[in-house]
Amino acid sequence: MQTSVRDRHLYRIRRILKFYYYFLGTIMSKEIQIELPSLLSFERKLEVSDALMFSGTWQENFNEDSTEWPKIVISQRQNRSTQSAHGISDEDKAKPNPASSDSDDANLPLNADTLKVSFSLRVVGDLGKPFACNAPEFESAIFNKVDEFKSSDGLNTLAFRYAYNIANGRFLWRNRVGAEAISIHVEIAEFDQTLIFDAYDFSLKNFEKGANNQALATLTEAIAKGLAGDDESFALIKVNAYVKLGNGQHVFPSQEMNMNEKRKVLFKLDDCAAIHNVKVGNALRTIDNWYGKSSQPIAIEPFGSVTQRGEAYRKNKIDLYTLMVKWVRDENLTIDERAYVTANLIRGGVFSRSSK
């Protein structure tokens, strides 16, 4: 009787141990899922300067002598205009609009018909390595994935699109609209020659028109080489754009965020009208036409946000965070999705997991 009780106890213990080891083995055998780190950031790989604006006369062969291209000075307008805002009272509709008075403005001089816009671009290497990351397994995984991407033709695809947005003059923004002629001159530090593009040979809606241009291939190669390098390599590119607008025509520097005042304030450097480096950079990375039903490319952003349209085109599981985590977990991503993720790392930013 005593032996029977002991055997029953042993049987129960063996069953408990068997279940325990089965449960433990099941847990250990499961693949560890890599999560988005709570600290994650990447440095920007396309470092763009502010773009300075000068005036002059259209030429067949442009002279880079700065004395022939004086800087455009921002002036002030003292205007009286009407009220046009929706919802104002009948009493105010007849009053002048105070928001339109004493605002900044910029024009070509009456003896100049051409705008010159100048900036530099530094393409930095060591792509795929986080600037900060508190999850070593994620850091290793994303670096390896980007390294594989760099070994494929994917990096050339991105470099081609960045080069294309230089050749087509997208960075000119409103200064490009209605121009009679646009000539883009590009100097690459390691090349002796100047690459010259007619901006109208290239499209703003796609990357197909003029895709076989030889100068474009040279510029693409220089950008790809900079992105593919290590932390000590870079490519330095200087861009001068000449835009024939007409004597005395309006030009459009960047407008400052002037939250506490109604007057318009235009951006200037050393009393020279200028375009923000962020605005130029946004134009260069306007390469995302992989987001679905696209009529034209949008700038590379984690959620495909376009503030001018009040829309985020990558809300539904095609955003950066969803695709990046899928990539490091070895889930299938298309070549376009891998290009989109890599382009966001080139853009740079803080991509940490939310604490919510």
Give 94-122 pLDDT, tens digit per residue. 887 765 567 899 999 999 999 999 999 99
**What's the CA gap between 247 and 250, in Å, rounded?**
9
The residues near 138 (Cβ < 8 Å, ≥ 6 apart) are: 34, 35, 36, 37, 40, 328
Lowest mean pLDDT among 14-23, 72-81, 340-349: 14-23
Query: Residue 174: which pLDDT band, with cuts at 50, 70 and 90?
Result: very high
The whole model's pTM is what?
A: 0.87
Does the structure show a pLDDT above 60 at 26? no
Does the structure show a pLDDT above 80 at 279? yes
269, containing H or E segment = strand 268-269
Contact 350, 329 (CB under 8 A): no
Does the structure show a pLDDT above 50 at 155? yes
Does the structure show a pLDDT above 80 at 286? yes
Does the structure show a pLDDT above 90 at 24? no
Query: Residue 46: which pLDDT band, with cuts at 50, 70 and 90?
Result: very high
Closest by CA to 286, choosing from 309, 274, 308, 304, is 304
Rounded to an integer, the average pLDDT of 269-277 is 97
Query: Residue 28: which pLDDT band, with cuts at 50, 70 and 90?
Result: very low
Contact 16, 82 (CB under 8 A): no
**What's the CA gap between 336 and 140, in Å, rounded?**
22
